[in-house]
């Protein structure tokens, strides 16, 4: 797959302005990059960095990516593409408890699906991968911890978690120094090594930075750096019984990879002073090289009528409220792909939201608009009947000599792309039409089938409705009509009879029965889980309706995971998991117009 280059010209945003300023001032010039992550000495021994900037997308492999992550992915990979840089895909796998290979694989698959590459050919054509795992940096992180202890910048705190919390203070009260804060570096180093060597039980003590317990920024009140946790890590196994805290690990990961612009979401804004403090101290100690990475924050993207917290998404999956991470109603990228959204439409939607300093709630309508824009010119057309009612043409044999006669019909696969060819199908004495295309007693302005009215079977003949058949309960079981001779579409007589209604149909003799999955919003409220109610009580019980519909024969051998426009109904996709040529399953992506809220 190619790197997306076709995206429309980006409007400027504050991140672009920062990067352009840095490039103009040359503040990133002269950086060395050894080709692999490492400390100051490692990079200084390497060549000048050929990448003008380095960004990264750093998912924690503890769940599937969602639409919010798409924003971060497109932003980081897009900036690298636009400014001659490189974007790293880094698995932030420093937490041993929740991470799994399944998620690593799924994340790689979805980043690729969105069209981005973490491999790059260098001048000599050699492919370099920029796929990294933070757990490979555990040795360096521990070395950094020992350095901070030795320099008097960190200490081992043996207070109970409760005491630690109480002594942290709050917004209006400064914190109180721990009784362990004044230990000597030698004592602290001995304790840290004991922590590492498994001398102490889980939770007995933590390593903390020694900054300022009275800082107005609570994140600077001696944040924890390492904790004791006996857990098997998917990469390092049982090599470690202490693990770094996220706030300690993340800046170091950025620095080892020589990231220039570390872009994250707004909730990390208060962490930035610690980010700068930590990297500054490690650079002073000669462990890290200048220029150091800088952190910049932007607003999260949320989608209305769904949730995007991984914890809540996992709950939906684990408790069976949806069929899996890739359920087509899920805002996961796997779910959106299965629903039929294209990478182009997701990228366009992310682009449409811009990059700002506030969190945004976006409506599905925007995504659907992007999908229509993308598919309008690409998707093949076909006829499908979703809510079938039999229509009988009562003068068929009289007109064509036999009930067995078939009239060949055709229609363009795409109205504006003749090169996509023609769809062939046939008309016979019985066809499927939509229930809503017949009214025994028409309402005002109704132009479709009612007794005495004429309408056109699209790509076929004008017909005149003569009545209907009913069952014992009075329910309509078939509509009756007569073919008006010499009115076939595409023949000279086609316009001899003027009609206002056009009916889509599928010949009953050749219709392909298909399972059609019609999706609605997953939740009934725009911002689920943000009010008093448990988000599960806000699930839409009618978010998936399954019907059997009839498709025209051109869809008989339709491949899986290919989008199509069902004329008048909207965009559908053959389900990538369940669809089979002889047992078709189609998902509705969205209607032809914005139908939400109706």
Which of the ranges 25-33, 183-191, 299-307, 579-587 carries the binding residues for ligand ATP, by CB under 6 A?
Answer: 299-307
Which of the ranges 5-13, 280-288, 300-308, 438-446 carries the binding residues for ligand ATP, by CB under 6 A?
Answer: 300-308
What is the token pair recorded at 448? Answer: 């479709």
- Is residue 71 at the binding interface for ligand ATP, with CB under 6 A as the rule? yes
DSSP reduced 3-state for 74: helix
For the bound state, the minimum distance from the C-beta of residue 71 to ligand ATP, rounded and expressed in Å, comes to 4
- Is residue 146 at the binding interface for ligand ATP, with CB under 6 A as the rule? no
Residues comprising the chain, all counted = 598
Cβ-based neighbour number of residue 127 at 10 Å: 9
For the bound state, the minimum distance from the C-beta of residue 93 to ligand ATP, rounded and expressed in Å, comes to 10
Which of the ranges 55-63, 79-87, 231-239, 451-459 carries the binding residues for ligand ATP, by CB under 6 A?
Answer: 55-63
Q: CA-CA distance, 497 to 16, in Å (whole number)? A: 61
- Is residue 72 at the binding interface for ligand ATP, with CB under 6 A as the rule? yes
* Residues in a beta bridge with 563: 573
For the bound state, the minimum distance from the C-beta of residue 61 to ligand ATP, rounded and expressed in Å, comes to 8
- Buried b vs exposed e over 158-181: b needs ≥16 C-beta within 10 Å? bbeeeebeebbbeeeeebeebebb
Strand pairing report for 570-574 and 544-551 = unpaired
Going residue by residue from 433 to 452, which x/- string records binding to ligand ATP, judged by CB under 6 A?
Answer: --------------------
- Is residue 314 at the binding interface for ligand ATP, with CB under 6 A as the rule? no
When binding is defined by CB under 6 A, the residue of 300, 390, 405, 509 that contacts ligand ATP is 300
Residues contacting 451, CB < 8 A, separation 6+: 440, 465, 466, 467, 468
Q: CA-CA distance, 531 to 201, in Å (whole number)? A: 40
For the bound state, the minimum distance from the C-beta of residue 325 to ligand ATP, rounded and expressed in Å, comes to 13
For the bound state, the minimum distance from the C-beta of residue 310 to ligand ATP, rounded and expressed in Å, comes to 3
Task: Restricting to residues 248-267, name those near ligand ATP by CB under 6 A.
Answer: 264-265
Q: Which is nearer to ligand ATP, 364 or 425 (CB)?
A: 364
Residues contacting 116, CB < 8 A, separation 6+: 3, 4, 73, 74, 77, 87
Q: Which is nearer to ligand ATP, 336 or 431 (CB)?
A: 336
DSSP reduced 3-state for 48: strand
Q: Which is nearer to ligand ATP, 395 or 527 (CB)?
A: 527
- Is residue 115 at the binding interface for ligand ATP, with CB under 6 A as the rule? no
Which position's Cβ is nearest ligand ATP? 68
- Is residue 60 at the binding interface for ligand ATP, with CB under 6 A as the rule? yes
What is the token pair recorded at 580? Answer: 């089979």
Q: CA-CA distance, 145 to 124, in Å (whole number)? A: 39
Which of the ranges 66-74, 253-261, 385-393, 514-522 carries the binding residues for ligand ATP, by CB under 6 A?
Answer: 66-74
Q: Which is nearer to ligand ATP, 111 or 241 (CB)?
A: 111
Provide the CA 574 distance to its chain's centre, in angstroms: 19
Q: CA-CA distance, 78 to 67, in Å (whole number)? A: 16
Provide the CA 597 distance to its chain's centre, in angstroms: 23
Q: Which is nearer to ligand ATP, 75 or 480 (CB)?
A: 75
Q: Which is nearer to ligand ATP, 53 or 413 (CB)?
A: 53
Task: Restricting to residues 170-199, name those near ligand ATP by CB under 6 A.
Answer: none
Q: CA-CA distance, 20 to 10, in Å (whole number)? A: 14
- Is residue 309 at the binding interface for ligand ATP, with CB under 6 A as the rule? yes
Q: Which is nearer to ligand ATP, 266 or 502 (CB)?
A: 266
Burial of 280 by CB count in 10 Å (0-12 exposed, 13-18 middle, 19+ buried)? Answer: middle
- Is residue 301 at the binding interface for ligand ATP, with CB under 6 A as the rule? yes
For the bound state, the minimum distance from the C-beta of residue 104 to ligand ATP, rounded and expressed in Å, comes to 12
Residues contacting 577, CB < 8 A, separation 6+: 326, 338
Q: CA-CA distance, 293 to 279, in Å (whole number)? A: 8
Q: Which is nearer to ligand ATP, 271 or 487 (CB)?
A: 271
- Is residue 108 at the binding interface for ligand ATP, with CB under 6 A as the rule? no
Residue labelled with tokens 């298909």: 514
Question: Which phi and psi angles does 481 have, rounded to 5°?
Answer: -155, 160
For residue 515, the surrounding DSSP H or E stretch is strand 512-519
Task: Please identify every residue annotated as catalytic.
Answer: 60, 300, 310
For the bound state, the minimum distance from the C-beta of residue 302 to ligand ATP, rounded and expressed in Å, comes to 6
When binding is defined by CB under 6 A, the residue of 43, 191, 294, 310 that contacts ligand ATP is 310
**Interior angle at CA 314, CA 313 and CA 315, nearest 5:** 90
- Is residue 58 at the binding interface for ligand ATP, with CB under 6 A as the rule? yes
Which of the ranges 23-31, 65-73, 161-169, 180-188 carries the binding residues for ligand ATP, by CB under 6 A?
Answer: 65-73
For the bound state, the minimum distance from the C-beta of residue 152 to ligand ATP, rounded and expressed in Å, comes to 32
Residue labelled with tokens 């919390």: 165
**Interior angle at CA 574, CA 596 and CA 307, nearest 5:** 45
Residue 371 and residue 345 in contact, taking contact as beta carbons nearer than 8 Å: yes
Which of the ranges 54-62, 159-167, 342-350, 561-569 carries the binding residues for ligand ATP, by CB under 6 A?
Answer: 54-62
Q: How many residues bind ligand ATP (CB under 6 A)?
A: 15
- Is residue 150 at the binding interface for ligand ATP, with CB under 6 A as the rule? no
What are the residues binding ligand ATP (CB under 6 A)? 58-60, 68-69, 71-72, 264-265, 300-302, 308-310
């Amino acid at each position: 797959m190619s790197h997306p280059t076709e995206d429309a010209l980006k409007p400027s945003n504050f991140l672009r302005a920062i990067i352009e300023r840095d490039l103009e001032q040359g503040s990133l010039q002269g950086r060395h990059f050894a080709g692999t992550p490492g400390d100051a000495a490692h990079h200084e021994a390497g060549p000048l960095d050929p990448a003008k900037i380095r960004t990264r997308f750093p998912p924690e492999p503890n769940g599937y990516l969602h639409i919010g992550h798409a924003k971060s992915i497109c932003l980081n990979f897009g900036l690298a593409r636009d400014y001659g840089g490189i974007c790293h895909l880094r698995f932030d796998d420093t937490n041993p408890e929740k991470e799994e290979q399944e998620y690593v694989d799924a994340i790689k698959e979805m980043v690729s699906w969105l069209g981005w590459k973490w491999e790059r050919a260098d001048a000599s054509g050699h492919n370099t991968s920029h796929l990294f795992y933070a757990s490979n940096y555990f040795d360096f992180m521990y070395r950094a911890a020992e350095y901070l202890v030795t320099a008097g910048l960190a200490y081992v705190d043996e207070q109970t978690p409760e005491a630690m919390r109480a002594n942290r203070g709050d917004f209006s009260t400064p914190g109180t120094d721990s009784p362990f804060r004044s230990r000597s570096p030698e004592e602290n180093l001995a304790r840290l090594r004991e922590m590492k060597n498994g001398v102490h039980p889980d939770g007995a003590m933590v390593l903390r930075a020694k900054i300022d317990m009275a800082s107005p920024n609570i994140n600077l009140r001696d944040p924890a750096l390492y904790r004791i946790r006996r857990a098997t890590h998917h990469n390092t196994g049982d090599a470690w019984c202490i693990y770094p805290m996220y706030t300690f690990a993340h800046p170091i990961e950025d620095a080892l990879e020589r990231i220039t612009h570390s872009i994250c979401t707004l909730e990390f804004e208060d962490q930035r002073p610690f980010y700068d403090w930590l990297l500054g101290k490690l650079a002073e100690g000669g462990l890290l090289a200048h220029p150091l990475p800088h952190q910049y924050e932007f607003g999260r993207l949320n989608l209305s009528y769904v949730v995007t917290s991984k914890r809540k998404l996992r709950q939906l999956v684990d408790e069976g409220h949806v069929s899996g991470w890739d359920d087509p109603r899920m805002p996961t990228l796997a779910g959106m792909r299965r629903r039929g959204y294209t990478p182009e439409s997701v990228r366009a939607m992310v682009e449409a939201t811009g990059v700002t300093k506030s969190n945004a709630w976006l409506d599905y309508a925007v995504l659907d608009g992007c999908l229509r824009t993308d598919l309008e010119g690409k998707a093949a057309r076909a006829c499908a009947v979703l809510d079938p009612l039999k229509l009988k043409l009562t003068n068929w044999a009289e007109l064509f000599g036999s009930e067995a006669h078939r009239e060949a019909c055709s229609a363009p696969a795409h109205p504006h792309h003749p090169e996509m060819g023609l769809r062939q199908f046939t008309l016979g004495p019985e066809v499927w039409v939509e229930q809503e295309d017949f009214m025994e007693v028409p309402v005002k302005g109704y132009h479709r089938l009612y007794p005495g009215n004429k309408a056109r079977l699209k790509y076929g003949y004008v017909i005149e409705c003569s009545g209907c058949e009913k069952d014992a309960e009075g329910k309509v079981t078939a509509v009756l009509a007569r073919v008006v001779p010499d009115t076939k579409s595409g023949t000279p007589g086609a316009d001899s009879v003027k009609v206002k209604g056009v009916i889509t149909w599928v010949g009953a003799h050749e219709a392909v029965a298909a399972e059609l999955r019609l999706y609605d919003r997953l939740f009934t409220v725009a911002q689920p889980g943000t009010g008093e109610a448990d988000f599960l009580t806000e699930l839409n019980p009618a978010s998936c309706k399954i019907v059997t519909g009839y498709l025209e024969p051109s869809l008989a051998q339709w491949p899986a995971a290919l989008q199509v426009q069902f004329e008048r109904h909207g965009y559908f996709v053959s389900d990538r998991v369940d669809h089979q040529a002889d047992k078709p399953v189609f998902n509705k992506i969205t209607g032809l117009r914005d139908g939400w809220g109706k």
